[in-house]
Amino acid sequence: MKTQSQINKRLRDYKNGVVDSPYRVKRWTSYDASFGAMEPGAIDVDRSYHAQCADLPTDYILWLTDNKYRAWGNAKDFPNNKFPEGWKIVENKPSTIPKKGWIAVFTSGTYAQYGHIGIVYNGGNTTSFQILEQNWNGWANKKPSLRWDNYYGLTHFIVPPVAKEIEEPKKDVKSAPKQSIKKSSSIKVNTNHIKGWTMTKRGRKPKAVVIHNDAGTMNSKQYYNNLVNADYNRLARGIAHAYADRNGIWEAISEDRIAWHVSDGVQPGSGNFETYGIEVNQSMYVSDKDFLKNEQTALKFAAHKLKKWGLPANRNTVRLHNEFSYTACPHRSAKLHAGIDPTKQAWSKAAQLKLKDYFIKQIRAYMKGDTPKITTVKNKPGSASTPANRRDMNGWKVNKYGTYYKTEHATFTPNTPIKTHYVGPFRSCPVSGVLQPGQTIKYDTVCKQDGHVWISYTAYNGKDVWLAIRTWDKNTDSVGKLWGTIK
């Protein structure tokens, strides 16, 4: 369930062609001569008939339900879907004024054969409303765009449930939201292995780990639900030993058995036979920030396995999928840490070793009990979910609000009371509490905005919390004295 502000942002991103979706067209594309070439930003979920009107709400519903429900049918069929609990189908009456984020369905008059569908962008009044839609021109080639509609043929609205916004803390809050740093050191591992097929025993310990990117959208729980009872035909298309994301790990196959994860057979000496495969989940779906968290879970789990087997972390024991077969995997890790996009260009030996060495360094730190510093290449463009439209000389990204930001992992302990805020790095944002002298937090982002340098940490309740740690002069880029210590 999403808040109204999250919904509003999603709709803006659709309109601007930058939505964080695996189904967003990234470059001019055409595979069906019956329609126009799709422009960047168009939504094409089913990869059929180009960017049809139904593709937009299908993607929207997948996002609203965290990829758990996919609508079926033509536009006119959407009201017949059995949506999750809390969703409503309401008839359009003369007195109806829709709200932003509702899904408008046209099924009568000229729309009777297939229907038409879009998302309410501005509820307007009983005479007209503003709709966000695709394929109004019939060529299925444009990104979502806005149009004022007079309700002709509109028979139903699909109303998703909306979560409550973050409430402002009470004025007498004395303490900043606490952070459970120790709790983050443990990894939740589901060891309920696959049941639909018995994999062959290796007969000895693995000789290496292989780090994959899943090129998908599912988390570890969803992989478990999809694969735990899968038959041979499904598993033969590929299955790793483990699936990792920021919330946990599913070990699908025990370490003493062979998995089919690098496509090079099962004979002794092959990658499948000799190695243990770990998938970093959601490489086609989440923001860079969340993907890096997923990646760290996988690397920490790899460190645990290598240490258990008595193996060091080096170029022989930490491997990449593309070392065994021709593939872009691990594509997103390569883009973040090696500066190449293997979906568009061939791997070079230098890029391959650069990524391997980064993984090795991270794994070695975890094997020592340390928390490694996460780094990304400086020339990487921001993702749609972390919009960066320009970059300054020192590698800072700059978003549409004029906030300079970058990833940084360290701890901060104040020497004076500091107000903390929800939402973002502005003193006008809701105050969440006060970080007291001596209270240590572990932060992952630093930025410059509103006359201050800010850091952000994730509280125990899962919310991002922001606090200023020194003054900043935007004109000179000079900073004041630090209000504590960083380690």
pLDDT per residue as tens digits for the range 35-87: 899 999 999 999 999 999 999 999 999 999 999 999 999 999 999 999 999 99
Task: Classify residue 101 as left (phi > 0), alpha (psi -120 to 50) or beta.
Answer: left
* Cβ-Cβ contacts under 8 Å for 222 (sequence gap 6 or more): 67, 68
Q: Of 198-212, 320-334, 377-391, 424-438, which gets the smallest average pLDDT?
A: 377-391
Active-site residue list? 53, 116, 133
At 383 the pLDDT is: 34
- Is the CB of residue 351 less than 8 Å from the CB of residue 387? no
Name the 3-class secondary structure at 239: strand
Burial, 334: exposed, middle or buried (Cβ in 10 Å; 0-12, 13-18, 19+)?
buried
Residue 7 in tokens: 């919904």
At 387 the pLDDT is: 35
The mean per-residue pLDDT over the stretch 468-483 comes to: 88
DSSP assignment of 311-377 equals ---STTTEEEGGGTSS---SHHHHHHHTS--TTTS---HHHHHHHHHHHHHHHHHHHTT--PPP---
431 vs 421: CA distance, rounded Å = 4
pLDDT per residue as tens digits for the range 14-33: 999 999 999 999 999 999 88
DSSP assignment of 294-307 equals HHHHHHHHHHHHHH
261 vs 265: CA distance, rounded Å = 10
Answering whether pTM is above 0.85, one says no
487 vs 374: CA distance, rounded Å = 15
Which band of pLDDT confidence, cut at 50, 70 and 90, is reported for residue 181?
Answer: low
Output DSSP code: residue 29: B
**Domain 390-486: CATH superfamily, name plus number:** SH3 Domains (2.30.30.40)
Residue 479 in tokens: 């900073």
**Domain 196-367: CATH superfamily, name plus number:** Peptidoglycan recognition protein-like (3.40.80.10)
Q: Parallel, antiparallel, or unpaired for β 404-414 and 441-449?
A: antiparallel
Class of domain 2-163: alpha beta
The mean per-residue pLDDT over the stretch 121-138 comes to: 94
Domain coordinates of the chain in residue numbers? 2-163, 196-367, 390-486
